[in-house]
Structure 1
Amino acid sequence: MIEGVPRPDRLFEQVPFIKYENRAEVDAFLGFRHVTGIKEWAPPEKAQFIAKLIDEGGLSYRQVMRKIGSKTDTVERNYIAYCILTQMEETEGLEVDEVENRFSVLFLSLRSKNVQEFLGVQGKFGIEPQNVKPPIDANNIDRLKEYSKWLFGDADTPPVVQDSREVDKFARVIASADGLEYLRSVRRPSLDKAFVIAGGDQEEVYELLSSATYNLQESLSSIHLYKGDERLISISKRLLANAEQLKKTLELD
């Protein structure tokens, strides 16, 4: 006790509390603490809570955003991802245990327009949540099964996407006819190989060559000062050899 401060009556006999009539009255606190706060739930639990606020509470995305302190587009993507998970649980022939364990992969993949178009859910974004269900139309169920197998695997094959950081690469692959054909025809496809087949490394090649060109241009401003340097001569010979190979590969005059 602090000297000079009287001890409250029944100090160790009662615990102070605030009583609410029902759970709905503490939803804002739960959402802020466990969805965007310091005691975060796992991704599927966050999405489930958001879905509860919408489905049972009748809230809009914006109202949920205000209640839990998140962004509206994040709320929307969580809700649609959870609706897809629920539909997968109800779809015959789909194993969803791993989907629940890697829900963040499902959530992150929906950022991509390519994934949205592949699953046919692009029209489910930007509308009222009450009109989202079912997120996957009947004519896209086969694609949903393919998507689930490639992202989460099944009893016979591991997932093509091993990490949530690979979802952008996967999105590039499924936008390519050649990339899709590879995924569908190979028993155990490799995402890296599918990415190359889909032409996904083309931008990387552009960037590498552009950087090399700019670096060479910059070095030419002072390279004449070190004409006799043996190390510089050795590096320059390698550069010329690579440039000659580039010329042959691209059939440059």
Structure 2
Amino acid sequence: MEENKKYEFEEIHIDKLKLDDENPRLPKSLRDSKPSQEELIEFMLLDASLIELMLAIGENGYFPGEQLLVTPTEDGNYKVIEGNRRLSSVKLLNNPNLATVQKAKVNKVIEETTERPENIPCLIFPSDAEIHRYLGFRHITGIKEWRLLEKARYLNNLRESLFSTIDIHNTSREIAKMIGSRMDYVRRILVGYEVYKIIEDEKFFQIRDLNDTTFYFNYIVDSLSRAHIRAFIGINFQAEKPSENLSENNLKKWTKWLYEKNDQNKTRLIGNSSDLNDLNSILAPEHNDALIAFDEKGYSLERAKELTGVQDIVFRDFIANAHNYLEKADAMILKVKNIYPDLDTDLRNIKILSTKIGSTAKEMEDYEG
């Protein structure tokens, strides 16, 4: 390969192509076990819908535009960085005995198809670093996205292999430029992965059914975009090492709130924007009584939120907005050509409702007094 080329095209026989046992899409439990090629094919069969892909290739052949992205290995073979599902499909088409699961489905594909491609178009990259630059754009911000935890593993691999000597902020900036993303988003993913690794190392705090395949990594990334949740966990984006002062006790609480299910199979929080916003409000330093109610007394999120006084602000805004819209209607009335038939009814209902609100407010003041 010429040194001035980043890659070259070649058709390579499938016997010289090896599946990537460090693929970020693989669960950590599988990657840590140093799986064999047969075990990787088994995982693909169970998890990656290979049967449909086998059927498509077996009927139509291998499309030349779908090159595998590979790097040479010391033993003269090639590691497939991109295209492990396609390689698994082709290997099974040529040797269905590789299937240790879903054997009947694999044999059915063999019976129904005739194409058995052996030489596969590949782009050979001289190093992982070169291929990672391409994959970073394609999978993180491009047209073929991975799940967020897979993205996080990949970005962390980039960080360790290419930017291990610089701080998190500059690393985030460099990776963001590399993959065409925003620096703050990359930083949240990288720091979020540090947090995730702690949770993983603690065996997911022994929460039933929680593991690397059931963990929603976006909960971490979304939580880290909220200042009070971030501070509660102990993450400081301004520090050179944002997770240096992480509170494992509070991280455990956060994890249990989002993932531990009660007898009704429900968690205390749902990881959507609404619940995370409410939690962020409860965790504000001035709302410690709300946090105590939620964390120690078992209040629901909604009930604990009431102690923050946020409803007072929302109520005031509703009244102010209603008044504002009525003022606008009053200013517009002389320009209206056709008064709609139900105007009198609507105005009467507004008056009744405003009177009711005023009476309720007065009763509450008298009660509290």
Deviation digits for residues 141-179 of structure 1 (CA, Å, limit 9, x no counterpart): 211111111122257774322132221111111222112
Q: Which moved more, 1:80-89 or 1:94-103?
A: 94-103
Q: Is 1:114 aligned with 2:221?
A: no
Q: Is 1:170 aligned with 2:279?
A: yes
Aligned to 1:160: 268
Q: Which runs of 4+ in 1 moved over 6 A?
A: 10-14, 222-226
Q: Is 1:240 aligned with 2:316?
A: no
Structure 2 residue corresponding to 1:42, chosen from 147, 150, 155: 147
Displacement of 1:66 in angstroms is 1.2
More strand by share: 2
Q: Quote the Cα distance in structure 2 between the aligned partners of 1:171 and 1:91.
A: 24
CA gap of 1:100–1:50, structure 2 versus 1, over 3 A, is: farther
Aligned to 2:308: 198
Deviation digits for residues 64-86 of structure 1 (CA, Å, limit 9, x no counterpart): 11111110011111000000000
Q: Quote the Cα distance in structure 2 between the aligned partners of 1:52 and 1:235.
A: 61
TM-score normalised to the size of structure 2?
Answer: 0.55
Aligned residues: 233
Deviation digits for residues 178-229 of structure 1 (CA, Å, limit 9, x no counterpart): 1211122244x42212211222333322221111221233344477999xx7
Q: Quote the Cα distance in structure 2 between the aligned partners of 1:180 and 1:99.
A: 30
Unaligned runs of 5+ in 1: 1-9
The answer to whether the 8 Å contact 1:32/1:69 transfers is yes
Structure 2 residue corresponding to 1:147, chosen from 254, 263, 271: 254
TM-score normalised to the size of structure 1?
Answer: 0.78
SS of the residue corresponding to residue 18 of structure 1 reads strand
Aligned to 2:293: 182
Q: Is 1:209 aligned with 2:298?
A: no
Q: Quote the Cα distance in structure 1 between the aligned partners of 2:303 and 2:212.
A: 24
Displacement of 1:250 in angstroms is 4.8
Q: Quote the Cα distance in structure 2 between the aligned partners of 1:207 and 1:27.
A: 50
Q: Quote the Cα distance in structure 2 between the aligned partners of 1:190 and 1:150.
A: 11
Q: Is 1:18 aligned with 2:123?
A: yes
Counterpart code for 2:182: K
Unaligned runs of 5+ in 2: 1-10, 12-63, 65-116, 165-170
Query: C-alpha root-mean-square deviation of aligned residues, in Å?
Result: 3.2
CA gap of 1:79–1:230, structure 2 versus 1, over 3 A, is: closer
Displacement of 1:127 in angstroms is 4.8
CA gap of 1:202–1:239, structure 2 versus 1, over 3 A, is: closer
